[in-house]
Amino acid sequence: MAPQTIGAVYMNNSGMTPQTILFDLDLTLCQPRCAPDKLVAEAFDRANVNQYCTAADLSTVESESLAADANSELDYYRLCFEATAQQTGVDSEDALGVARAYQAIGGHSDVEFLPGAETILSDLKEGYSLGLVTNGLQEIQQQKVNTLGIDGVFDAVVFATPEIGYKPDPAPFRRALSALETAPENALHIGDSYATDVAGAHAIGTDSIWIPSAPSDEGQADTVPEPDRVFNSLCDLREVL
């Protein structure tokens, strides 16, 4: 049975079907195999340090500026744990030890496909140019791509960096589309973040399908620019296949 294609139904505002589909990575195609809070707790335990932050705390301090300041994966984690220590009024001298333990656990790169993701990629690969555009430290993101075994699935992969610009900056989207020789209006971007995926895609004139990763995000669906479609999961892409 031939794979179905998104172009069978989906058309943009100009009545065109996409030639290229871009994907975000984290919480769009994959998720951590182990609960993030468990990884953080284990890191503090291994480092023999009283836990002073949670996975949610780390998420609040993770930023492009920290990634820009880091010279390695370990250094990035150190900066993150230092930032959470400062936020909670704790001495940050143990941040390096906790960061080493966190890196040694390796859980941050131990990811699994979200439901439907592997099949969707396989089906779309048959008829479309596929690209990956992801924020985050390249060293970490590449490990996730390797874990999932999808390096060969994409015709272009862009790891956003300070030099290129981070989503929602249009630059990483433009770089991917340039490599794929696709005009923005002939592409479609799929991601979980309104702020980075939807806003970034629309900034260059590319349609977006938004799959919010948290229920609290859904209220942004009416924000300008509006996503062209909003789905609950990748499985819902079958509605336009």
Same domain, 99 and 115: no
Residues whose CB falls within 8 Å of the CB of residue 149, separated by 6 or more in sequence, listed in order: none
Same domain, 138 and 171: yes
Same domain, 116 and 204: yes
Specify the number of domains making up the chain: 2
Per residue in 76-116, pLDDT (tens digit) is: 999 999 999 999 999 999 999 999 999 998 777 889 999 99
pLDDT-based confidence at 218, cuts 50/70/90?
Answer: low
CATH number at residue 217: 3.40.50.1000
Q: Structural domain of residue 55, as residue ranges?
A: 36-109
Same domain, 17 and 123: yes
Residue 1: inside a domain: no
Same domain, 115 and 209: yes
Residues whose CB falls within 8 Å of the CB of residue 67, separated by 6 or more in sequence, listed in order: 76, 136, 137, 161, 162, 166
Segment 2-29 shows an average pLDDT of 76
Same domain, 22 and 135: yes
Q: Which of 109, 144, 162 is the last residue of a domain?
A: 109
Same domain, 64 and 146: no
Question: Is residue 26 over pLDDT 60?
Answer: yes
C-alpha 158/C-alpha 75 separation (Å) is: 22
DSSP 67-115: HHH-SSHHHHHHHHHHHHHHHHT--GGGHHHHHHHHHHH-GGG-EEEPT
